[in-house]
Amino acid sequence: MRSFNLRHLAWMLPVFFLLATLRLPAQNAQQAADKSESNAAAAPKGRVIPRDEGPSIPTRAEMLRGAYGPFRLNNDLLYYHLDIRVDPDQEWISGKNTIRFRMLKDGTRIQLDLRDTLHVDKILLGTTPLKFERDTGTVFVDFPEVLHAGQVYSIDFYYSGHPVEIGRFGGMTFKKDPAGRVWITTACEGDGASVWWPNKDQWRDEVQNMDISVAIPNRLVDVSNGKLVGKTDLGDGYTRWDWHVSYPINNYDVALNIGNYVHFSDHYGDLPLDFYVLPEDLAKAKVQFAQAKEMLEAFEHYFGAYPFEKDGYKLVEVPYAGMEHQSAVAYGNLFENGYLGRDWAGVGISTRFDFIIIHESAHEWFGNSITAADSADMWIHEAWATYMEGLYVEYRWGKDDAIKYLNGLKPKIQDVRPILDERGVRAEPTEDQYFKGALMINTLRSVVNDDAKWWPLLHDFYQHFKYQNIMTDDVVAYFNEHTGMNLTPIFNQYLRHRRIPRLELLFGEAPGMVMYKWRADEEDFAMPVRVGTPGNWQIIHPTTTWQWMQTPLTKDEFEVATDLYYVEVNKQ
Ligand SMILES: [Zn+2]
């Protein structure tokens, strides 16, 4: 997810500078604007967030939303039909979600979620009203008779209300565009989709496909996920827009984008590309959005086909920087290269491409197709999407620039707590998951040390897990199996500990000799690394016990390839 709209400078800039001033060091201001995932402002009221000083203490609502408890475990989602009406004048949403699921165990209760600011009108099994119990944002639904394992059931969950804005992105917001027209959008990754619609609000289980029907005043356009099936004039001043999603989808990816959009289209091979922007931005968008094809070409080269071919690919203008809404990527990057007009990595490369088009679209492969099963494992989305920025650079401008770009992200790393967070509590992992995570993957490439193996490894890893919800352990096991190496201590050091490995180098014990070992939290940490001088690197295999090597180099001359391996070096 990306935040923030600098489009309307009048109201945006004060917020931006406030955040930059109060919450983060100056070099991280952009980063603050960038993240919803670790966003203090996005936290529910009352939650204590020491900013990256440690995991926050989860509230009861987050415990309920984060845990995969017995009333979630007993069923498997199959299908949603979200069928709603949005009234811009009243700022009101109403309708129902039809939820189809298969029971995995006999039971009389399931757990769904809807933020308690919204009203549950009724929940029906066929025509039978069901009892339910609300507990913070959770809705426990009770059935009068036992639902049997293996059987498929469908309920209609009716709700209504005014979604309260929450977090920096608002969850669901009723805004005006710069010309004063209606502009209603959603962005709810951190806070959960249940801030605006009822669903099983967790990451492990996804529906196999989905319909989204949105009734809005005739003059407006709704862009949601998937393929536009059609529009129906309801005869009461409203038109219903019907969208069909043909693939599994995360709850938080489900989006409304309601505004005075104009539409233009293109195609990439057989893949339809559809673009929706405000009328005033049409000319700029037609130029800038040409980058979508360059993005598709690069990412398909490394990982294989765009994951959602039947749904097409869309970019939709929004009043915040961006978000990876599946097949309908939210775009608010000012129609400029870089990130909100800035050189994001600070090394003169970011300005060659539109950061939001590249980063958010990378999530179509990592985040949307492959999804973390728990938000604690969210580096699977963000480290990979960030690494893919580097791959995009490499595809277009070569490896040297890619390495330079990825290393340009180093100053953003805070190293305050481990990337992998606590599972089962709806964790908000540290922002290090982006930059440190990407540099970890870049390090693994150097460890594999053979691009003829690395590229198929990445491709096959993605292909193996596409459309699945996985954990860190799945990634590590796959990489171990397919490299034949024990990479577990390396993954563990970067993901489960605060500090990166430090190469201890001790010179002068004897003439022409250097001693070396890793200082790491993982007891059996072992990682090859290139040392010597650029152009004349030599690979050594340090462990956590001292070894030695002969070298003609002096302490000052002896270098470590820290752009290829994200490590600290301590020469003594
Ligand atoms: Zn992201």
CA of 314 from ligand 1 middle (Å) equals: 17
Q: How confident is the model at residue 217 (pLDDT cuts 50, 70, 90)?
A: very high
CA of 502 from ligand 1 middle (Å) equals: 28
CA of 305 from ligand 1 middle (Å) equals: 20
CA of 386 from ligand 1 middle (Å) equals: 7
* Residue 490 vs residues 62, 241, 339, 480, 528: alpha-carbon distances, Å: 31, 49, 31, 11, 11
Q: 469-478 contacts: CB < 8 A, separation 24 or more?
A: 469/203, 469/204, 469/205, 469/206, 469/371, 469/372, 469/373, 470/370, 470/371, 470/372, 470/373, 470/377, 470/380, 471/372, 471/373, 471/374, 471/377, 472/377, 472/379, 472/380, 472/420, 475/380
Q: How confident is the model at residue 54 (pLDDT cuts 50, 70, 90)?
A: low
CA of 535 from ligand 1 middle (Å) equals: 35
Supply the pLDDT for residue 509. Answer: 79
CA of 25 from ligand 1 middle (Å) equals: 21
On the question of pLDDT at 521 being above 90, the answer is yes
CA of 323 from ligand 1 middle (Å) equals: 7
CA of 362 from ligand 1 middle (Å) equals: 8
CA of 196 from ligand 1 middle (Å) equals: 21
Supply the pLDDT for residue 17. Answer: 31
H helices of 339-471, where?
Answer: 355-362, 379-397, 399-407, 432-448, 451-465
Distance separating alpha carbons of residues 356 and 337, to the nearest angstrom:
9
Question: What is the rounded average pLDDT of the residues 25-30?
Answer: 34
Average model confidence (pLDDT) for the chain? Answer: 91
CA of 324 from ligand 1 middle (Å) equals: 7
Supply the pLDDT for residue 34. Answer: 40
CA of 381 from ligand 1 middle (Å) equals: 7
- The region of weakest confidence among 41-50, 56-65, 320-329, 519-528 is 41-50
CA of 1 from ligand 1 middle (Å) equals: 5
CA of 385 from ligand 1 middle (Å) equals: 6
CA of 143 from ligand 1 middle (Å) equals: 39
Supply the pLDDT for residue 267. Answer: 97
DSSP sequence for 454-509: HHHHHHHHHHHHTT-EE-HHHHHHHHHHHHTS--HHHHHHHHHSSSPPEEEEEE-S
Q: Name the amino acid, one letter, at 423.
A: R
106: its two tokens: 């006999």
Q: How confident is the model at residue 64 (pLDDT cuts 50, 70, 90)?
A: very high
The residue among 411 and 4 whose pLDDT is bigger is 411
Burial class (CB in 10 A: 0-12, 13-18, 19+), 62: buried
CA of 520 from ligand 1 middle (Å) equals: 29
The Cβ of residue 64 has, within 10 Å, a number of other Cβ atoms equal to 20
205: its two tokens: 């289980």
CA of 436 from ligand 1 middle (Å) equals: 14
Supply the pLDDT for residue 511. Answer: 84
CA of 380 from ligand 1 middle (Å) equals: 10
Q: How confident is the model at residue 4 (pLDDT cuts 50, 70, 90)?
A: very low
Question: What is the rounded average pLDDT of the residues 232-250?
Answer: 98
Q: What is the pLDDT of residues 91-137, one digit of tens each?
A: 999 999 999 999 999 999 999 999 999 999 999 999 999 999 999 99
CA of 234 from ligand 1 middle (Å) equals: 38
pTM of the model: 0.91
Supply the pLDDT for residue 167. Answer: 79
Distance separating alpha carbons of residues 238 and 459, to the nearest angstrom:
46
Supply the pLDDT for residue 53. Answer: 59
CA of 144 from ligand 1 middle (Å) equals: 43
CA of 382 from ligand 1 middle (Å) equals: 5
What one-character DSSP code corresponds to residue 280? Answer: G
Supply the pLDDT for residue 52. Answer: 59
- The region of weakest confidence among 17-26, 50-59, 426-435, 543-552 is 17-26
Distance separating alpha carbons of residues 281 and 378, to the nearest angstrom:
33
Burial 438-450 (b: 16+ CB within 10 A, else e): bbbbbbbbbbbee
On the question of pLDDT at 40 being above 80, the answer is no
On the question of pLDDT at 60 being above 70, the answer is yes
CA of 430 from ligand 1 middle (Å) equals: 13
CA of 363 from ligand 1 middle (Å) equals: 7
Is beta strand 313-317 parallel, antiparallel or unpaired with respect to 271-277? Answer: parallel
Distance separating alpha carbons of residues 141 and 157, to the nearest angstrom:
10
CA of 169 from ligand 1 middle (Å) equals: 14
The residue among 44 and 258 whose pLDDT is bigger is 258
